Amino acid sequence: MPLVLNEEQRLLKDTAKEFLGSSAPVEALRKLRDEKNEIGYDKALWQQMAELGWAGIVLPEDYDGLDFGFMGLGAIIEESGRTLTASPLFSTVVLGASAILLGGSDEQKQSLLPSVASGEKTLTLAVDEYAHHNPAAIALSAKAQGENFVLTGKKVCVVDGHTADHIVVAARTSGTTGSTDGISLFIVDGDAEGLTRTRRWMADSRAVAELNFDKVSGQLLGELDKGWDILDPVLDRGRICLAAEMLGGTQEIFKRTVDYLKEREQFGVKIGSFQALKHRAAHMFTEIELAKSVVLDAFTAIDEGRADLGQMASFAKATVNDLYYLVSNEAVQMHGGIGVTDELEIGFFLKRSRMAIQLLGDSGFHRDRYASLSGY
């Protein structure tokens, strides 16, 4: 498949750019931060996004979705990265709904997915239990009790975990911590008895939560002890979509930096005329163009069901991790002292880059994973 968007996908991307630019600029995130908004996003904005069809864009038509594919969703998420849009699109559609689609029974799908497509319900995925991403290091336990299971343990850094109506939880039903065998997935109601949800305020203002489970009832999703077969591809979808969001942010701060270089004067000349700054800008440009191809190929791997999905997900996340780090650093340095002031929005992108790099695996994690999946 050519690494370009088709006409429908380009139209979707343009629509997303126009809508998010006017309805969810970076200033909207600033407002949520300054108000200490407990939810972390604007519910009215999320409903508008659902009315545009974005909440059901990858869902089959049988569940009131558009079945437009992840390439289309990626176009929207990339534009959301340009404005640092706060919404449950990532947690609900990319993580939660993917888990239901890949592992849910017909009853579970019919019960949850149409309400996701309408924007009525939100979902999320709870995996990590430690500061660093390690999806196999699951200790939270699930024990059978009647038709359901009871979950005991803790999850950290759960995106939108404090507000989600339903949470897909990775738990250990057999085996030892660190093994992919013996992991099972469960659907837990957000208001379930014994579940404590605490919002954690991150530097980049992304809404995440710590969840504590004290004998919380959960419904099995997929086969017992076979949760990794669902969890692994769901995380890969999340990594690729997160890479797209980060790519959008990278492009936005690069554009803002180049515009600044064309305007700022030193010694009576535009600093954009300095050869050293031209070289640095050219380096960033070429790295961004390369990353675009990597991310598009990764989305193609999802939509085509390719066998190298895992490698492409790690390749994309590691590539954009490094890129976002580079460009956010350069943006701050080229803006000078004002680059780190709260008044200038460049700082918002710098903070987002540092948090997004860690979410679902940093570059070291993904280089090691890529090598392992490639047989090294």
Confidence category of residue 194, pLDDT binned at 50, 70, 90:
very high
Residues 58 and 174 in one domain: no
Q: What's 253's domain CATH number?
A: 1.20.140.10
| Residue pLDDT, tens place only, 82-141 | 999 999 999 999 999 999 999 999 999 999 999 999 999 999 999 999 989 999 999 999
Q: Are 114 and 106 in contact (CB under 8 A)?
A: no
User: Are 233 and 369 in a shared domain?
Assistant: yes
Task: Note whether residue 2 is domain-resident.
Answer: no
93 and 130 co-located in one domain: no
- Helix, strand and coil content of the chain, in percent to the nearest 5, comes to 55, 15, 30
Q: Which of 214, 155, 157, 148 is nearest to 186 (CA)?
A: 148
Please tell me whether residues 113 and 130 are part of one structural domain.
no
Phi, psi of 140 (to 5 degrees): -55, 125
Cβ contacts of 315 within 8 Å, gap of 6 or more: 294, 298, 366, 370
Cα 367 from Cα 169, distance rounded (Å): 26
Alpha helices in 137-195 (DSSP H): none
The radius of gyration of the chain's CA atoms, rounded to the nearest angstrom, is 21
Q: Average pLDDT in the 189-193 region?
A: 96
Which of 119, 152, 177 terminates a domain? The answer is 119
**Which of the four pLDDT bands, split at 50, 70 and 90, describes residue 146?**
confident
What domain range includes position 16? 7-119
**172, 177, 178, 179 alpha-carbon torsion, rounded to 10°:** -50
Contact 26/83 with Cβ under 8 angstroms? yes
Same domain, yes or no: 266 and 330: yes
- 31 found inside a domain: yes
Residues 190 and 286 in one domain: no
Nearest 5°: the CA angle 156, 41, 234 is 50
| CA atoms of 139 and 305, how far apart (whole Å) | 30
109, part of any domain:
yes
Same domain (yes/no): 221, 233 = no
Average pLDDT over residues 328-332: 96
Per-residue pLDDT band at 1 (split at 50, 70, 90): low
Give a yes or no: residue 51 inside a domain: yes
Q: State how far the Cα of 160 lies from the Cα of 71, in Å rounded to an integer.
A: 23
| Residue positions counted in the chain | 376
Residues 73 and 97 in one domain: yes
Q: Are residues 239 and 368 in the same domain?
A: yes
Show which of 170, 193, 226 is a domain's final residue. Answer: 226
225: nearest Cα among 179, 187, 158: 179
- Domain annotation covers residue 1: no
207-221 and 123-126: which strand pairing?
A: unpaired
pLDDT of residue 2 exceeding 70, the answer is no
How confident is the model over 255-303, as pLDDT tens digits? 999 999 998 878 888 888 889 999 999 999 999 999 999 999 999 999 9
How confident is the model over 48-66, as a mean pLDDT?
A: 96
Task: Give 258's contacts (C-beta < 8 A, 6+ positions apart).
Answer: 272, 281
Instruction: Mark whether 268 and 352 lie in a shared domain.
Output: yes
Instruction: Clarify whether residues 97 and 34 are in a common domain.
Output: yes
**Which CATH number belongs to the domain containing residue 37 in this structure?**
1.10.540.10
Mean per-residue pLDDT, 292-320: 97
pLDDT at position 147 is 80
Report pLDDT for 125: 98
The Cα 307–Cα 264 span in angstroms is: 49
- The number of folded domains in the chain is 3
> What average pLDDT does the structure give for the chain?
95
Q: Is residue 235 located within the same domain as residue 367?
A: yes
Considering the domain boundaries, does residue 362 fall inside one?
A: yes
Q: Residue 324: enclosing H or E segment and its boundaries?
A: helix 309-335
CA separation for the pair 39, 190 (Å, rounded): 14
Q: How many other CB atoms sit within 10 Å of the CB of residue 205?
A: 20
Domain boundary among 119, 143, 164: 119
Q: What's the pLDDT score for residue 93?
A: 98
